[in-house]
Structure 1
């Protein structure tokens, strides 16, 4: 690998710039020829962005877009064509050479991991403009999931479409990452999650319906806590419940065959299980799920079916056969529920928000499961996240919309700058979000 630019020393009493690139451990980098970003390249781009940024700040704070017309003169036409080019981001990372499918932020330090269709997971800083490139984890296929462990971020788990899972361990506050072990149990990993409070635990589901839960031991070896084979079709989603008072850990998984299972992670026992017959015989090809607190889970199907279950009692608390009414000419998959988000427990109003392929956003009052508001974006919804009383919604139209969840009128801010869809995004601190773009670029926004 070519020599990385220097970063200020993080030792002593001097203010830390977080990462010293001369100390980055390259043990997990298989491709030693990966070029590093050039300082002068970033500086020139930063200068240009800075000159425009001063004029953009006022508009950005209002959720507006800054525009710059680009005139083109086709050979066979005399008239000019004007193209709208807008960007209110404050920084970017563009070292992926294909779509970025996943993004995750370290829980304690300003470090981001992005996984892409170029078979790489890149680690880079989120607090500096331009970002500092840290290192790369190479895979054999598209990296569809990459997550730091929680709450300390000691481990990084990445997975790809060839079924390969890699685990790395950090040192020196994340400035070094050492490869620990890799797992090859399945043909294709569909999803991967790290536990929200158990630092050493992670799980993933596969296209053969299997579910795997692992623990990272103190000696850095990986131990299988359980493997489950109840689902008969793609295990399309999984999410942990919070640790119970008895110290147990529970995982909820769902599949395209309509089954939903609650597992005890330490024993592999099935706590509760549902099939399509438990949802009034409806066809329920589940494609999304999200747990809430320590006993609730919301499920969304690719035909618009929505269900809420109690993972402890096994009761189905709510069931809607299809959340929208499709026109005869519309594809059934337009009703597919692609993202689910619960409002934080501290939120003044308990809300549940779902996003559809057709672009619909539907917000429920969870106390009654009545629709509080609904509206439609220009294109498919890809992800929804709450932060405080605000809610952020990303879309295939290349934008991320910020709404006040107490009102849901016009967006209070709109992140613009992508020329293709936003496939994922994450929060960085209290005032920034970072996107994963289908064109292979991550943009940083302050909002």
Structure 2
């Protein structure tokens, strides 16, 4: 078939009449080999953006999403991750382990140890305090499994014991209580809260139940200890907050439920953070509630001798101190700054971060509305560096980006305190995002848990 001559209207047809199939095919054939350079170029540009990677090392032993991550308390290079492949891994994230010969492809960090034994996703991990003597993994199979460190390098671990009292475990949190070492709390999908003490030397009961609580009537979504580990605060989808005196009375010392209309959050509570004197909880619709905590007896006596404002705080245990709502969607993450700063940071599903001043009636100091554009903020956490950097807030989101912010006053309004960002994970609707991170060891190294199944190591300058 030749296409060198112009097409002629067949005899018997006029302009506008329907052509038969053969004649129509002749017209179509002229466009078969048209170039697609423009579209291919657009695709190449898009790929280049997606492959931006600011990390200095990576760990990719997981075959599914990494749901959780934790850092050893005395050796911050030792990291544990848990994922959708029903497995947890311990690896060494020190930069010296990531040296790659020039001209070769960067290799993944090698696992120090594989922690198996789960039959469903591992969605919570933690090292115990104060020395990281044990590591625990918890999963959607309801199992809590514990391993003991066999050497000072934290690179050899021995399985100790397993407990299985619930159908699914949502979270675990290590107690910082100096008088009760190696204690772990967990929350379950049936609303129950369990506290265990781990002691490998006790062959009869290496995982001993310290307390078990059953007051939540729906899934227990989050829990946090006070800084001294004397109290444990837990929240639930039923909108309740309980603060437990785990080691003294064993009872709830603060009870707030949706029965109190002032405390009610329709849609439930999903995040919690504590200082020594207050607890903040976050939930659906951008709602945050702040409640006073009881103080230890000796501290209460000192406070009673102080200023009037301090006495008022001492008597506010269990009272609703503030109801905040600067954001439009669920508050998934909360973090208090370390003294002398008095900031509460809240990350929301609407992609924003709100900063409240706890020393000035919880006034909204700043609302970073596009902190992670339209993608959910998964976690916010202040740098815990006693020498410098305590004013730095780190955030991660489902956009796959790590960002840092200066929360001090005096920063330019246009920048909203933005300091730096790092990329490397898939995100922005591309089947990725960041589901957690750690930044111990003076805040100069961040390690992320990716929904894309990769943990990335980033180096940061604290100045």
Q: TM-score range by the shorter chain?
A: 0.7 to 0.9
Structure with greater strand share of residues:
1
| Equivalent in the alignment of 1:41 | none
Specify every segment of 5 or more residues in structure 2 that has no aligned partner in the other structure, as ranges: 1-32, 99-108, 295-316, 384-389, 427-431
What displacement does 1:199 show?
Answer: 2.7
Find the aligned partners of 1:409 and 1:305 in 2 and give their Cα distance. 22
| Equivalent in the alignment of 1:168 | 147
RMSD (CA atoms): 1.8
| Equivalent in the alignment of 2:260 | 278
| Equivalent in the alignment of 1:355 | 347
Q: For residues 288-338 of structure 1, what are the alpha-carbon distances to aligned partners after superposition, in whole Å with 9 as ceiling and x for unaligned?
A: 11111x231100012221101112111111113x333x5xxxxxxxx1001
SS at match of 1:277: coil
Q: How does 1:120-159 map to 2 (within 5 A)?
A: 120-127=87-94, 128-130=96-98, 131-138=109-116, 139-159=118-138
Which of residues 284, 292, 299 in structure 1 aligns to 2:281? Answer: 299
TM-score by length of 2: 0.74
Which of residues 427, 436, 439 in structure 1 aligns to 2:449? Answer: 436
Specify every segment of 5 or more residues in structure 1 that has no aligned partner in the other structure, as ranges: 1-73, 327-334
* Alignment partner of 1:417 is 2:424: yes
Find the aligned partners of 1:228 and 1:179 in 2 and give their Cα distance. 27
| Equivalent in the alignment of 1:4 | none
Find the aligned partners of 2:292 and 2:344 in 1 and give their Cα distance. 15
* Alignment partner of 1:114 is 2:116: no
Q: Which region of structure 1 is more displaced relative to structure 2, 80-89 or 155-164?
A: 80-89
TM-score by length of 1: 0.77
* Alignment partner of 1:223 is 2:208: yes
Aligned residues of 1:225 and 1:268 also touching (Cα < 8 A): no
**Aligned length, in residue pairs:** 357
Q: How does 1:236-275 map to 2 (within 5 A)?
A: 236-243=221-228, 249-266=230-247, 267-275=249-257
| Equivalent in the alignment of 2:318 | 314
Find the aligned partners of 2:201 and 2:322 in 1 and give their Cα distance. 45
| Equivalent in the alignment of 1:96 | 62
| Equivalent in the alignment of 1:199 | 181
| Equivalent in the alignment of 1:394 | 396
Aligned residues of 1:126 and 1:428 also touching (Cα < 8 A): no
Which of residues 374, 377, 401 in structure 1 aligns to 2:367? Answer: 374
Find the aligned partners of 1:194 and 1:282 in 2 and give their Cα distance. 29
Q: For residues 401-440 of structure 1, what are the alpha-carbon distances to aligned partners after superposition, in whole Å with 9 as ceiling and x for unaligned?
A: 0111213635221011111201100014221100001100
* Alignment partner of 1:78 is 2:91: no
Pair 1:168–1:76, CA change in 2 (3 A): farther
Aligned residues of 2:257 and 2:264 also touching (Cα < 8 A): no
SS at match of 1:129: helix
